[in-house]
Amino acid sequence: MKAIILYASITGNAKGMARIEQQFFEHYGWDVTLGEMIQTDPTTIKDYDVLVLATYTWTGGVIPEETEDFYEDLSKLDFSAKPLVFGVLGTGDPYYGKDYNTAPELFEAVLAASGAVQGADPVKIALNVKQEEMPQFAAFTKSLIAKAEALQADK
Protein backbone atom coordinates (compact mmCIF):
# COMPACT_ATOMS: atom_id res chain seq x y z
CA MET A 1 0.00 0.00 0.00
CA LYS A 2 1.03 3.59 -0.54
CA ALA A 3 1.21 6.62 1.74
CA ILE A 4 2.01 10.22 0.97
CA ILE A 5 3.30 12.41 3.76
CA LEU A 6 3.28 16.13 3.13
CA TYR A 7 4.50 18.93 5.36
CA ALA A 8 4.72 22.68 5.72
CA SER A 9 7.63 23.74 7.90
CA ILE A 10 9.55 26.90 8.65
CA THR A 11 11.52 25.81 11.71
CA GLY A 12 11.93 22.17 10.68
CA ASN A 13 9.60 20.85 13.40
CA ALA A 14 6.77 19.77 11.07
CA LYS A 15 9.32 18.30 8.65
CA GLY A 16 10.73 16.29 11.55
CA MET A 17 7.26 14.96 12.34
CA ALA A 18 6.82 13.98 8.70
CA ARG A 19 10.13 12.12 8.66
CA ILE A 20 9.18 10.21 11.80
CA GLU A 21 5.94 9.11 10.14
CA GLN A 22 7.87 8.12 7.02
CA GLN A 23 10.05 5.82 9.13
CA PHE A 24 7.04 4.25 10.86
CA PHE A 25 5.24 3.56 7.57
CA GLU A 26 8.40 2.16 5.98
CA HIS A 27 8.85 -0.08 9.04
CA TYR A 28 5.48 -1.62 8.16
CA GLY A 29 6.54 -2.14 4.54
CA TRP A 30 4.61 0.70 2.97
CA ASP A 31 5.65 2.57 -0.17
CA VAL A 32 6.07 6.15 1.08
CA THR A 33 6.36 9.49 -0.70
CA LEU A 34 7.56 12.44 1.38
CA GLY A 35 7.24 16.01 0.18
CA GLU A 36 6.19 19.59 0.82
CA MET A 37 2.58 20.67 0.45
CA ILE A 38 3.63 23.73 -1.54
CA GLN A 39 5.36 21.52 -4.14
CA THR A 40 2.59 18.93 -4.45
CA ASP A 41 -0.31 18.87 -6.88
CA PRO A 42 -3.24 17.77 -4.68
CA THR A 43 -4.79 15.76 -7.55
CA THR A 44 -1.90 13.28 -7.25
CA ILE A 45 -3.07 12.36 -3.74
CA LYS A 46 -5.76 10.18 -5.31
CA ASP A 47 -2.99 7.71 -6.20
CA TYR A 48 -2.40 6.90 -2.51
CA ASP A 49 -4.18 4.94 0.20
CA VAL A 50 -3.14 7.21 3.09
CA LEU A 51 -2.40 10.93 3.35
CA VAL A 52 -0.54 12.39 6.33
CA LEU A 53 -0.24 16.15 6.65
CA ALA A 54 2.26 17.69 9.06
CA THR A 55 1.71 21.39 9.67
CA TYR A 56 2.31 24.26 11.98
CA THR A 57 -0.24 26.91 12.91
CA TRP A 58 0.31 30.43 11.67
CA THR A 59 -0.26 33.53 13.76
CA GLY A 60 -3.98 34.00 14.35
CA GLY A 61 -4.68 30.26 14.43
CA VAL A 62 -4.75 29.74 10.68
CA ILE A 63 -3.04 27.39 8.26
CA PRO A 64 0.44 28.36 7.06
CA GLU A 65 0.35 31.04 4.41
CA GLU A 66 2.32 28.91 1.94
CA THR A 67 -0.33 26.15 2.13
CA GLU A 68 -3.33 28.31 1.21
CA ASP A 69 -3.38 27.28 -2.47
CA PHE A 70 -2.91 23.61 -1.54
CA TYR A 71 -5.74 23.89 1.01
CA GLU A 72 -8.06 25.52 -1.51
CA ASP A 73 -7.26 22.85 -4.12
CA LEU A 74 -7.98 20.13 -1.54
CA SER A 75 -11.42 21.63 -1.00
CA LYS A 76 -12.23 21.06 -4.69
CA LEU A 77 -11.36 17.35 -4.71
CA ASP A 78 -13.71 14.42 -4.19
CA PHE A 79 -12.23 11.40 -2.45
CA SER A 80 -15.53 9.54 -2.00
CA ALA A 81 -15.10 7.24 -5.04
CA LYS A 82 -11.79 5.80 -3.81
CA PRO A 83 -11.63 6.36 -0.08
CA LEU A 84 -8.51 8.16 1.10
CA VAL A 85 -7.53 7.69 4.72
CA PHE A 86 -5.96 10.73 6.34
CA GLY A 87 -4.34 11.92 9.53
CA VAL A 88 -2.92 15.29 10.54
CA LEU A 89 0.08 16.15 12.69
CA GLY A 90 0.49 19.58 14.23
CA THR A 91 3.27 21.51 15.88
CA GLY A 92 2.90 24.81 17.59
CA ASP A 93 4.00 27.09 20.36
CA PRO A 94 1.77 27.22 23.47
CA TYR A 95 2.66 30.91 23.69
CA TYR A 96 -0.18 31.57 21.21
CA GLY A 97 -2.88 30.54 23.69
CA LYS A 98 -6.26 29.90 22.03
CA ASP A 99 -4.57 29.88 18.62
CA TYR A 100 -2.17 27.11 19.67
CA ASN A 101 -2.02 24.23 17.17
CA THR A 102 -5.36 24.89 15.47
CA ALA A 103 -4.31 24.25 11.84
CA PRO A 104 -4.78 20.45 12.13
CA GLU A 105 -8.54 20.89 12.64
CA LEU A 106 -8.75 23.15 9.60
CA PHE A 107 -7.05 20.54 7.41
CA GLU A 108 -9.18 17.76 8.92
CA ALA A 109 -12.37 19.66 8.10
CA VAL A 110 -11.46 20.27 4.46
CA LEU A 111 -10.42 16.63 3.97
CA ALA A 112 -13.56 15.24 5.63
CA ALA A 113 -15.71 17.54 3.48
CA SER A 114 -13.99 16.14 0.38
CA GLY A 115 -15.00 12.58 1.26
CA ALA A 116 -11.70 11.45 2.78
CA VAL A 117 -11.84 9.21 5.86
CA GLN A 118 -10.12 10.24 9.07
CA GLY A 119 -8.03 7.30 10.21
CA ALA A 120 -6.49 8.72 13.39
CA ASP A 121 -6.89 11.52 15.86
CA PRO A 122 -4.37 14.30 15.33
CA VAL A 123 -1.05 14.28 17.10
CA LYS A 124 -0.25 17.75 18.37
CA ILE A 125 3.06 18.64 19.91
CA ALA A 126 4.66 21.74 21.34
CA LEU A 127 7.57 22.80 19.13
CA ASN A 128 9.76 19.77 18.28
CA VAL A 129 9.29 16.04 18.80
CA LYS A 130 10.47 14.61 22.09
CA GLN A 131 11.36 10.98 22.73
CA GLU A 132 8.44 10.51 25.12
CA GLU A 133 6.03 11.45 22.29
CA MET A 134 7.10 8.56 20.05
CA PRO A 135 4.32 6.24 21.30
CA GLN A 136 1.77 8.81 20.06
CA PHE A 137 3.33 8.68 16.59
CA ALA A 138 3.40 4.87 16.65
CA ALA A 139 -0.28 4.69 17.62
CA PHE A 140 -1.16 7.29 14.96
CA THR A 141 0.54 5.20 12.26
CA LYS A 142 -1.05 1.94 13.40
CA SER A 143 -4.49 3.56 13.41
CA LEU A 144 -4.06 4.88 9.86
CA ILE A 145 -2.82 1.52 8.60
CA ALA A 146 -5.68 -0.36 10.29
CA LYS A 147 -8.28 1.97 8.76
CA ALA A 148 -6.72 1.72 5.28
CA GLU A 149 -6.55 -2.06 5.48
CA ALA A 150 -10.16 -2.26 6.67
CA LEU A 151 -11.30 -0.13 3.72
CA GLN A 152 -9.32 -2.35 1.30
CA ALA A 153 -10.97 -5.45 2.78
CA ASP A 154 -14.43 -3.91 2.27
CA LYS A 155 -13.87 -3.55 -1.48
Domain ranges in the chain are: 1-152
CA 124-104-83 angle, 5° bins: 115
Averaged pLDDT, 98-103 = 93
Q: Is the pLDDT score of 154 beyond 90?
A: no
Q: Is the pLDDT score of 120 beyond 90?
A: yes
Overall CATH class of domain 1-152 = alpha beta
pLDDT of residue 152: 87
pLDDT of residue 55: 97
Averaged pLDDT, 137-154 = 95
List all residues 6 or more positions away from 83 whose beta carbon is below 8 Å from its beta carbon: 115, 116, 117, 151
Averaged pLDDT, 40-69 = 94
pLDDT of residue 155: 64
Percent of the chain whose pLDDT exceeds 70: 99
Question: 147, 119 in Cβ contact below 8 A?
Answer: yes
Question: Is 0.85 topped by the overall pTM?
Answer: yes
